[in-house]
Amino acid sequence: MSTKTPITVAYGDGIGPEIMEATLRIIEAAGANIEIETIEIGEKVYLRGIETGMEPSAWESLERTRVFLKAPITTPQGGGYKSLNVTIRKALGLFANVRPCVAYHPYVYTKHPGMDVVIIRENEEDLYAGIEHRQTEQVYQCLKLITRPGSEKIIRYAFEYARVHNRKKVTCFVKDNIMKMTDGLFHKVFEEVAAEYPDIQNETWIVDIGAAKLADTPEQFDVIVMPNLYGDVLSDVAAQIAGSVGLAGSANIGSQAAMFEAIHGSAPRRAGQNVANPSGLLLGAVMMLVHIGQGDVATRVHNAWLKTIEDGIHTYDIYKEGVSQRKVGTREFADAVIERLGEVPQVLKPVSYQASQVIRVEPKTPARKQEKRLVGVDVFLDWDRGSPNDLGSALSRVSEGPLALRVISNRGVKVWPDGLPETFCTDHWRCRFMAQDGESVTPDQVVKLMGRVVEAGFEPIKSENLYLFDGVPGFSAIHG
């Protein structure tokens, strides 16, 4: 027998221990070749004063095995506790979140019987970098970071996933009609990567209408890839409208490590009663088996589970008079799946994973070096002592070399010169200083300009350099 794959397991809180016990019993009965290291995470650890919810010894196990099967945890009430999931994702570089959202019609109620969508969400960037600032009394800022390597990794992962799982189409959701640079980059990289996969269809939707279509006709979608925030929201929507939020599993994949879990929480009110549905965690474990190259075991488990659902053996959360045959508890459900190992569903579509189906992606070539030229600076001010015209005339007297005030905006809307009196202004102003006709300026001139702004009695709260990359502006135009 080949050597066992070590995996780290956490039983979690609430219903976690029961559904983990059921899940492990099923996959071991199916022949999973794994060696389990158990760690403690969650509520008890938080309450011992460890703000990440995880002991250092638990990290050692994860660093060793690099495969984590995690039951849900309870985050204690009150502030000061860090999200364990966010910590693990960042520490292990888990860039891809994969959530298959499948309808099990007619055995589980759904308005969308044909739904079979996989949401692939970028997991590390976007507004989740956690870079937030309060800049003035009135204004707070959260930085949205979209990077070329980050976008390329997740998009390439989506296409590789589609190829390996015989999916026909990858759809991209973005909002690049508004966020032309950040979402624009994601869209551009999508088109570049899509061109390398001519066997797979591709399309892009603006996220608002795309989300509406997903909620209305999800059967039109196959694999959908999106930046972090849209993916966070829409993967829950998709799981819910599949009719099976309690049935969905989730994989968090990195190039060096991966974590698998159910999408639901620890349901503390259901804990210890042998009623919880272990299916979400079990389907997470199926993805884990595929990830560690035991696709044959994953196939056996998944098909036996589908047959159990099809035979109407249901836990309370999906039990329905007239559709279900038998209402069972967590343990009995696991027994029913184990009894069906080796069987395939007759109505629901059977699955078939290859023995080894591991997806690995690395960004290909680093972006070519572009000519980067400094042409100006946006100076942000905290100021509440007058009208936009007062600010404009005071700052017009401040200049440095070719750098002179060209335009002022407030919340992105131009207010000087020729602003509209109706425009509402906060205490947060963006003052754009540039040379004429795209002439270059030096970093030294930018620094000196900041000094002159301070000498003139203003408080700069931050600045953003304005660059041209191969002659193309690396900054948004000011509307108004």
Pick one of 17, 93, 184, 265: the residue that binds ligand NAD (CB under 6 A).
265
Of the pair 265, 363, the CB lying nearest ligand NAD is at 265
Q: Which stretch of DSSP H or E encloses residue 185? A: helix 182-194
Of the pair 45, 461, the CB lying nearest ligand NAD is at 45
Of the pair 69, 193, the CB lying nearest ligand NAD is at 69
CA distance 331 to 328: 8
Question: Which 36-75 positions form the footprint of ligand NAD (CB under 6 A)?
Answer: 72-75
Select from 52-60, 90-98, 258-266, 422-430 the region that touches ligand NAD (CB under 6 A): 258-266
Q: Are 55 and 306 in contact (CB under 8 A)?
A: no
Closest CA to 23 of 231, 305, 214, 351: 305
CA distance 176 to 183: 5
Question: Which 195-254 positions form the footprint of ligand NAD (CB under 6 A)?
Answer: 246
Residue 267 binds ligand NAD, judged by CB under 6 A: yes
Of the pair 73, 214, the CB lying nearest ligand NAD is at 73
Q: Can you say how many angstroms the Cα of residue 48 is from the centroid of all Cα atoms in its chain?
A: 30
Report how many residues bind ligand NAD under the rule CB under 6 A. 20
Pick one of 144, 156, 187, 270: the residue that binds ligand NAD (CB under 6 A).
270
Select from 153-161, 261-269, 290-298, 428-436 the region that touches ligand NAD (CB under 6 A): 261-269
Q: Measured at CB, which residue is nearest to ligand NAD?
A: 265
Select from 54-62, 257-265, 303-311, 342-350 the region that touches ligand NAD (CB under 6 A): 257-265
Site string for ligand NAD, 75-94 (x = CB under 6 A): x---------x---------
CA distance 241 to 234: 10
Report the SS3 class of residue 477. Answer: coil
- Alpha-carbon distance values, 442 to 260, 462, 469, 477 (Å): 50, 18, 15, 21
Pick one of 261, 335, 378, 400: the residue that binds ligand NAD (CB under 6 A).
261
CA distance 61 to 321: 45
Select from 130-138, 274-282, 346-354, 407-415 the region that touches ligand NAD (CB under 6 A): 274-282
Site string for ligand NAD, 8-27 (x = CB under 6 A): -------x---x--------
Closest CA to 204 of 217, 187, 221, 192: 187
CA distance 121 to 98: 7
Question: Which 276-335 positions form the footprint of ligand NAD (CB under 6 A)?
Answer: 276-277, 280, 317
Select from 142-150, 206-214, 260-268, 423-431 the region that touches ligand NAD (CB under 6 A): 260-268
- Alpha-carbon distance values, 157 to 120, 154, 193, 239 (Å): 8, 5, 10, 21
DSSP code of residue 248? -
Task: Give exposure, 17-50, as e/b (b: 16+ Cβ within 10 Å).
Answer: bbbbbbbbbbbebbebebeebebebbbebbeeeb
Residue ranges binding ligand NAD (CB under 6 A): 15, 19, 72-75, 85, 246, 261, 264-270, 276-277, 280, 317
